[in-house]
Amino acid sequence: MQQLTVLGSTGSIGTSTLDVVARHPDKFKIAALTANAQVDLLLRQCQQFKPRYAVLVDEAAAARLRLLVREAGLSVEVLGGAAALEQVCILPEVDAVMAAIVGAAGLRPTLAAARAGKKILLANKETLVMAGNVFMDAVRGSGSVLLPIDSEHNAIFQALPRGYDGDLAASGVRRILLTASGGPFRNTPLSELHNVTPEQACAHPNWVMGRKISVDSASMMNKGLEVIEAHWLFNAGADDIQVVVHPQSVIHSLVEYVDGSVLAQLGNPDMRTPIAYGLAYPERIDSGVASLDLFKVATLNFVAPDFERFPCLALAYQALCAAGTAPAVLNAANEVAVAAFLDRQIAFLDIPRVIAAVLDALPVNAVGSLDDVLVADAEARRAATEWIAR
């Protein structure tokens, strides 16, 4: 019986995780659930899964949940504030942590889980983008087990040799092929991208995701962040990672070997598949996902990414090659820009402009500690906010 903390339990990854958990009550127990401010959904999750702890980052929301939990007669301790996220990640009884908080907010609790030696199901790519060397050092130092949950990295993990030790050449790997759907604007005329609305950007053709990650998919920054994540997860250089636009989202990624073999992981676009794989690893369990009907799929297409259409992808490669604090700056500027776009303060095409301006304005410094990352993050957010306000 594994005891789990789910960071971001009310988001799309969190709810999918709980769906898989509910199918296997003999294998998994929820120790803690966390969210930002969604009181009603978190209450329903507490009623169903009866965790020991529930955390809401928003203190006012936590106070409201505390009252509702008491009225419902639940023996759930409600905690408030960001520090409580770390607290429920390092509980002695917790075996595994699903890290599904979107953005930089997930960095500290995920790092705490790594330092505590927990099994980490990593769905928060920003942890590796911002602080890859700090996080990977913590994983190695504690003996933590790190399992990627992003569908693409989970696919790569499955296609690499079991026990892969971070040496592509010694494993006979030529390159990693990271697939991308191309998002909702893959075929939109470039002249029309000036008028894109938040609603259009959030209408992903294949995946059901939160608003921020949906915009990242539309700009292909999500894929850029995944390139950086793949670098840290698999010790792969920028030249070892090729992005392939695959509109059907059936092949989730591929690994090419030096003998010409290419291994791919296929499945319906449903995050419960990689979640179930991570939860049960090295075993496999039912995820609730329907079998892939190849006859219905019929055709699989692949095209090279268009860097003119998707400048955010090029900016991510640029940040990866620059190393140091550059990826943290990239991520922070993107978070500020996406939030401004969703609030209708800037246009969709301003997102890469903000990021490029901030990358050009700030120096690239070495990362030796978490503080180095947080300083770069704060400086980038300030510079991005100033660009938007000008």
Tell whether 301 is covered by a domain. Answer: yes
Last residue of a domain, one of 125, 148, 171: 148
Residues 211 and 119 in one domain: no
Residues 224 and 358 in one domain: no
Q: How confident is the model at residue 195 (pLDDT cuts 50, 70, 90)?
A: confident
Residues 346 and 372 in one domain: yes
Q: What whole-number distance in Å separates Cα of residue 126 and Cα of residue 203?
A: 22
Last residue of a domain, one of 114, 148, 182: 148
Residues 122 and 195 in one domain: no
- Distances, alpha carbon 14 to alpha carbons 19, 41, 368, 377, in Å: 9, 11, 31, 25
Quickly count: other Cβ atoms within 10 Å of residue 352's Cβ.
Answer: 21
- pLDDT above 90 for 203: no
CATH number at residue 328: 1.10.1740.10
Task: State the average pLDDT for the chain.
Answer: 94
Tell me the percentage of the chain whose pLDDT exceeds 90.
86
Residues 23 and 109 in one domain: yes
Closest C-alpha to 86, from 7, 192, 199:
7
Q: What whole-number distance in Å separates Cα of residue 330 and Cα of residue 112?
A: 23
Residues 327 and 307 in one domain: no
Q: How confident is the model at residue 186 (pLDDT cuts 50, 70, 90)?
A: confident
Tell whether 182 is covered by a domain. Answer: yes
Stretch 156-175: mean pLDDT, rounded? 95
Tell whether 90 is covered by a domain. Answer: yes
Quote the Cα angle for 168-174-178, to 5°.
90
Stretch 137-159: mean pLDDT, rounded? 96
State residue 180 phi and psi, 5-degree precision: -140, 140
Tell whether 272 is covered by a domain. Answer: no
Tell whether 275 is covered by a domain. Answer: no
Return the minimum-mean-pLDDT range out of 6-10, 60-64, 192-196, 223-227: 192-196
Domain count, the chain: 3
- pLDDT above 70 for 317: yes
pLDDT at 204: 65
Tell whether 274 is covered by a domain. Answer: no
pLDDT at 183: 82
Tell whether 318 is covered by a domain. Answer: no
User: For residue 21, what are the domain limits?
Assistant: 2-148
Residues 143 and 199 in one domain: no
pLDDT at 209: 66
pLDDT at 210: 74
- pLDDT above 90 for 103: no
Q: How confident is the model at residue 386 (pLDDT cuts 50, 70, 90)?
A: very high
Q: What is the 3-state secondary structure (H, E, C) of the chain?
A: CEEEEEECCCCHHHHHHHHHHHCCCCCEEEEEEEECCCHHHHHHHHHHHCCCEEEECCHHHHHHHHHHHHHCCCCCEEEECCHHHHHHHCCCCCCEEEECCCCHHHHHHHHHHHHCCCEEEECCCHHHHHHHHHHHHHHHHHCCCEEECCHHHHHHHHHCCCCCCCCCCCCCEEEEEEEECCCCCCCCCHHHHHHCCHHHHCCCCCCCCCHHHHHHHHHCHHHHHHHHHHHHHHCCCHHHEEEEECCCCCEEEEEEECCCCEEEEECCCCCHHHHHHHHHCCCCCCCCCCCCCHHHHCCCCCECCCCCCCHHHHHHHHHHHHCCCHHHHHHHHHHHHHHHHHCCCCCCCHHHHHHHHHHHHCCCCCCCCHHHHHHHHHHHHHHHHHHHHC
Quickly count: other Cβ atoms within 10 Å of residue 178's Cβ.
Answer: 25
Return the minimum-mean-pLDDT range out of 69-78, 82-91, 168-177, 187-196: 187-196
Residues 180 and 305 in one domain: yes
Residues 173 and 260 in one domain: yes
Last residue of a domain, one of 148, 181, 210: 148
Check residues 163 and 31 and name the one with the higher pLDDT. 31
pLDDT in tens, 212-230: 888 998 999 999 999 999 9
Residues 76 and 133 in one domain: yes
Stretch 165-188: mean pLDDT, rounded? 92
Residues 330 and 297 in one domain: no
CATH number at residue 42: 3.40.50.720
- Distances, alpha carbon 342 to alpha carbons 32, 121, 198, 275, 359, in Å: 30, 28, 5, 28, 22
pLDDT in tens, 335-353: 999 999 999 999 999 999 9
Residues 113 and 41 in one domain: yes
Tell whether 221 is covered by a domain. Answer: yes
